[in-house]
Structures are given as C-alpha cells and as structure tokens.
Amino acid sequence: MPKQKTHSGVKKRFSLTATGKVKYARPGKGHFLTAKNKSRKRKLRKGSYINGKNTQNIKTLLAK
C-alpha cells in the first residue's frame, strides 16, 4: 500500500506539538482590523489547540 500524502492546506494551517496536540492560529486576524477592538485583536494573537475527534482527522491529513 502506498504512503499517504500530506494535505498541503492542512500543512500550512496546523502544527503538532511535542506532546501530540494540534495547534493552529485563530482566524479573523487578516483584515478589517480597524473594526475590531483592542481586546479582541489581543485574544486573536494567541494560538489555540484542537480537541476531540477533529484532532484525529487533522493528524490523518498530516500523515502522522
């Protein structure tokens, strides 16, 4: 059976930590930043982790 290729869209958006968690950048920081208040933009700076069944799906697409 051939190896599974890495999904290029997922490769750009998600990364795995050393403990196996899936990390991603929060969406909404691209444009229209003048309409968003300071605290909202500050919260968007921090990344977040995916949990539950979605973690398995992302890891499969990352071929890990």
Tell whether 3 is covered by a domain: no
User: Which residue do the tokens 């500050």 mark?
Assistant: 42
Residue 15, φ and ψ in degrees, nearest 5: -140, 155
CATH number at residue 22: 4.10.410.60
Residue 1: pLDDT band by 50, 70, 90 thresholds?
A: confident
| Average pLDDT of the residues in 36-43 | 95
Domain interval for residue 14: 8-61
Sequence letter at residue 24: Y
User: What pLDDT score does 8 carry?
Assistant: 95
| Average pLDDT of the residues in 6-18 | 95
pLDDT at 2 exceeding the cut of 90? no
Tell whether 48 is covered by a domain: yes
Tell whether 2 is covered by a domain: no
Number of domains in the chain: 1
**In sequence order, what are the residues at sequence separation of 6 or more whose Cβ sits closer than 8 angstroms to the Cβ of residue 28?**
36, 44
| Average pLDDT of the residues in 15-35 | 94
Average pLDDT, the chain: 93
> How do 14-16 and 47-50 pair as beta strands?
unpaired
User: What pLDDT score does 3 carry?
Assistant: 87
Tell whether 50 is covered by a domain: yes
Query: Other CB atoms closer than 10 Å to residue 14's CB: what's the count?
Result: 18
